[in-house]
Amino acid sequence: MQGRALEANVLGAGPRTLLIIAGIHGTEPAGGPLVRRFERELRAAPERLRDVTLVLVPELNPDGLAAGTRTNARGVDLNRNWPARNFTSTERHGGDPLTEPETRFLADLLERHRPVLVLSFHQPLACVDYDGPAELIAERVARASNLPVKKLGARPGSLGAYVGEDLGVPILTLELPANAQRSSEEDLWRRYGALLWQALDEAFALDPRPAI
Ligand SMILES: [Zn+2]
């Protein structure tokens, strides 16, 4: 990495963890401000967390976001570098799973917090995709945001393939529209804030995951 720190912010201490990631692809910056806004809203109203621990990663690929590249500084697509059964070894996928500091950082968070639900913000497809046992969750979250549910299929070595298909943990891929980053934070929050509140309700309704 190019000296930029990876940041994870943890709110609450409930038995169920909701993990929200943005900016795994550096050319898809719109989710980051939404995640930061959600954090501020919850710091102002912590009672809304109830029994949920929230782990927020607003920029998983800070070097890519700074450079405007999909990949990290080493040219690896961080959403193809996961130890999923469908991992394919190419230079752009990292050669092996978890070769990158960014994916290892997130893998450590997954292991430590064992989330009941994971959300990852992308662009530009304007839909809610899901992997694992998340169909109904995806429908309710999509309804809250006026985005359609679309099953795009698990990409090789993607976070969705690993978390959803292999670990069996519900994961939503939230595809915001192409130019969403041109909207103000206020505008983004007005359109997609309800989606985040709905995801928090969904996490609260899920059984806590037992420790390994
Ligand atoms: Zn993406």
Q: pLDDT tens digit string along 107-131? A: 999 999 999 999 999 999 999 999 9
What is the C-alpha separation between 50 and 139, in angstroms, rounded? 23
Please give the residue that has the higher pLDDT: either 21 or 2: 21
Q: Which residues are catalytic, by number?
A: 175
Query: In CATH, what number is assigned to the domain containing residue 126?
Result: 3.40.630.10
- Domain extent for 46: 9-205
3 in a domain, yes or no? no
Q: What is the pTM of this model?
A: 0.97
83 in a domain, yes or no? yes
Contact yes or no for 193/38 (Cβ under 8 A): yes
201 in a domain, yes or no? yes
In the reported structure, the alpha carbon of residue 51 is separated from the centroid of ligand 1 by a whole-number distance in angstroms of: 30
* The predicted structure's pLDDT at residue 129: 98
* Plot region of 116 (φ>0 → left; ψ -120 to 50 → alpha; else → beta): alpha
Instruction: Kindly tell me if the per-residue pLDDT of 14 is higher than 90.
Output: yes
66 in a domain, yes or no? yes
What is the C-alpha separation between 10 and 57, in angstroms, rounded? 9
In the reported structure, the alpha carbon of residue 153 is separated from the centroid of ligand 1 by a whole-number distance in angstroms of: 13
In the reported structure, the alpha carbon of residue 46 is separated from the centroid of ligand 1 by a whole-number distance in angstroms of: 30
Number of domains in the chain: 1
Instruction: Kindly tell me if the per-residue pLDDT of 211 is higher than 80.
Output: no
* The predicted structure's pLDDT at residue 212: 59
210 in a domain, yes or no? no
**Model confidence at 209, in pLDDT bands (50, 70, 90)?**
confident
The strand pairing partners of 162, in sequence order, are: none
Which residues are CB-contacts of 145 (< 8 A; sequence separation ≥ 6)? 128, 174, 191, 192, 194, 195, 198
212 in a domain, yes or no? no
